[in-house]
Amino acid sequence: MARRLESQDQPPEPSSPTGVDRGDVISRGLRWTSSWALRTIVVLIALYLLERALAPLWVALLPLILALVISTVLWPVARWLRDRGFPPALAAATSLLGALVVLGGVIVAIATSVANQSEDLANRSIGGVNKLRDWVQGPPLNIRPEQIDDGVKAITDRLRESGAQVAGGVFTGVSAAGAVIVTLLLSLVLTFFMIKDGPRFLPMLRRVTGERAGAHLTELLTRMWNTLSGFIRTQAIVSMVDAVFIGAGLLILRVPLALPLTALTFLGGFIPIVGATVAGALAVLVALVSNGFVTALIVLGIVIAVQQLEGHVLQPVLQSRSMNVHPALVLLGVTVGSATQGIIGAFLAVPVVAVLAVVLRYLGEQVDLRTGAKEASDVSPATPHGEITAKAGEAAYREHSAG
């Protein structure tokens, strides 16, 4: 009787209408979350260790990356020469030397233009500074001349006190310039060998890694090459359009240094968002100093109009076909690249982001094939080896389903 009363006083056991306990569901969720968190931590640690291991090799990796980018530009020319009977070495040398001749001609033209107009620009700059001084002395600022002289004297004294640091910076700059020259020369040599022996690389890779891994690497690397080539060609078209329109505007308005500013606009276009903005701002500044406020406003309007054409017409139409990368990822890539590696990082950020996107898409494609979300017929391979890997993934799914 006492046991019966005691059992009546105890609360009833909780029950679920589905027969599944909430604690078990939460435990499975926590186990799943913790297992993936652990895997993520291991991957991040591996990437960090890889970055630390490759950091000392950056002096060799940078010329290799630059040579790869240059090769994507020169390879169509070399392939055209090969198709017309040129030996591989001669085709590579001809395309590389031709590019150097064109680049050298552009540099000579720019240097001549700067030399011819530098004196006039300097005189106009002095006049602009005098106008600015007269403006700040008048209303509403009413700054007295002695205050301006005191400010100039303070800046001069500060520079004189920092002479040692300036001298050290000059020597550092000379050393950095030497490193840049060595990097460019090494990049040119590597470019020659890439163009000459590039078609032999993938067959050699398959022999080393085996046919199964080699097939995946062949397909993936080919897609990466196609994306990188498409980016360079597309960005060259976009940059050329920017340079032509802005350069034409500068020539019509008779802004000094129009040719150097046009070339800078073209080169700046290869650094999306940031490069075009900096080149446009420099063009507006030169127009302001040399031709006055009205001309600077017109140049600013031309730059904004061209950038709107680039951002709303050229980039969405062309870059979406070649890279298929969201502009937000491009902006983040440029930010990280410029913060870590400066100008070189900003230039290489977009190709790196595009290549990483190709890798992730290929991995997702292989996962979809093995889960049945895609069939081999849904894949658009870049090589015959891509067809083999797609069929292998579909076969793996069917074997798993049958088992």
Q: Which amino acid is at 132?
A: L
Q: Where are the domains of the chain?
A: 59-160+167-198, 209-403
Q: How far is CA 138 from the centre of its chain?
A: 47
**Alpha-carbon span 292 to 285, nearest angstrom:** 10
Angle at 281 (CA atoms; ends 276, 283), nearest 5 degrees: 95
**Alpha-carbon span 114 to 256, nearest angstrom:** 9
Q: What is the DSSP string of 240-278?
A: HHHHHHHHHHHHHTT-TTHHHHHHHHHHHTTSTTHHHHH
Using alpha carbons, select from 230, 228, 227, 215 the residue that is nearest to residue 383. 215
Whether the bond into 140 is cis, omega within 30 of 0: yes
Give me the pLDDT at residue 40, please.
Answer: 94
Q: Is 318 helix (H, G, I), strand (E, B) or coil?
A: helix
Q: Which amino acid is at 370?
A: R
Does residue 260 contact residue 226 with C-beta atoms inside 8 Å? no
Q: What is the DSSP string of 366-388?
A: HHHHHHTSS-GGG---SSHHHHH
Using alpha carbons, select from 312, 310, 229 the residue that is nearest to residue 276. 310
Does residue 277 contact residue 306 with C-beta atoms inside 8 Å? no
Report the predicted TM-score, pTM, of the whole model to 2 decimal places.
Answer: 0.71
Radius of gyration from C-alpha coordinates of the chain: 31
Cβ burial, residue 257 (10 Å; 0-12/13-18/19+): buried
Each of the 403 residues of the chain gets a pLDDT tens digit; together they read 455 545 555 555 555 555 667 788 888 889 999 999 999 999 999 989 998 888 888 888 888 888 888 898 889 889 999 998 889 999 999 999 998 998 888 777 777 766 766 666 666 666 666 666 666 666 666 666 666 666 666 666 665 555 555 445 444 444 555 677 888 888 889 999 999 988 889 889 888 888 888 899 999 999 988 888 888 888 788 888 888 888 888 888 888 777 888 887 887 777 666 667 777 888 888 787 777 778 888 888 888 888 777 766 666 566 555 666 666 777 777 777 777 777 777 777 778 888 888 898 999 999 998 888 888 888 888 888 888 888 888 888 888 887 6
Give me the pLDDT at residue 173, please.
Answer: 47
For residue 17, CA distances in Å to 14, 20, 22 come to: 10, 8, 11
Q: What is the DSSP string of 26-75?
A: HHHHHHHHHHHHHHHHHHHHHHHHHHHHHGGGHHHHHHHHHHHHHHHHHH
